Homo-oligomer: A and B are copies of this chain.
Amino acid sequence: MGRRVAIVGTGHSKFGVRNDVNIPELAYEAIRQALDEAGIEKKDIDLVVTGYVGGWSSEGLAPVVVMEYAGLTGKPAYRIEAACATGSAAIKTAHDAVAAGEADIALVVGVEKMNESPTPTVVEFIGRAGNYFWEFENFGLTFPGYYALYATAYMQKYGATEEDLCKVAVKNHYYASFNPKAQFPRQITLEQCLKSRYIAWPLKLFDCSPITDGAAAVVLASEEIAEKLTDSPVWIEAIGVSSGTSNLSRRPYFTNLPAAKIAAQAAYKKAGIDPENPVKYLDLAEVHDCFTIAEIMAYEDLGFAKPGEGYKLIREEQTYIGGVIPVNLSGGLKAKGHPLAATGISMAVDLTRQLQGRVEKGRQAEIKHGRALAHNIGGTGHYAYVTIYSLSKPRSA
Cβ-based interface call for A133 (8 A): yes
Q: How far is the CA of A136 from the CA of B258 in the complex (A)?
A: 44
Given A78-B92, A92-B78, the answer on whether A243 and B64 have CB atoms closer than 8 Å is yes
Interface of A is mostly: mixed
Q: What residues on B are CB-neighbors of A131 within 8 Å?
A: 65
Quick check: A74 and B242 within 8 Å, CB to CB? yes
Q: How far is the CA of A130 from the CA of B62 in the complex (A)?
A: 10
Quick check: B59 and A132 within 8 Å, CB to CB? yes
Cβ-based interface call for A194 (8 A): no
> How far does the Cβ of A222 sit from chain B's closest Cβ, in whole Å?
9
Quick check: A383 and B77 within 8 Å, CB to CB? yes
Among the stretches A79-87, A287-295, A315-323, A348-356, the one at the interface with B is A79-87
Cβ-based interface call for A247 (8 A): yes
Cβ-based interface call for A272 (8 A): no
Number of A residues near B (Cβ < 8 Å) is 63
Shortest 10 CB-CB contacts between residues of A and residues of B: A1-B101, A60-B128, A2-B100, A76-B241, A99-B100, A78-B89, A100-B100, A96-B96, A60-B129, A78-B82
List residues of A whose CB falls within 8 A of some B CB: 1-3, 47-48, 58-61, 64-65, 67-68, 72-83, 85-86, 89, 92-93, 95-97, 99-102, 125, 127-133, 136-137, 239, 241-247, 258-259, 262, 378-379, 382-383, 397
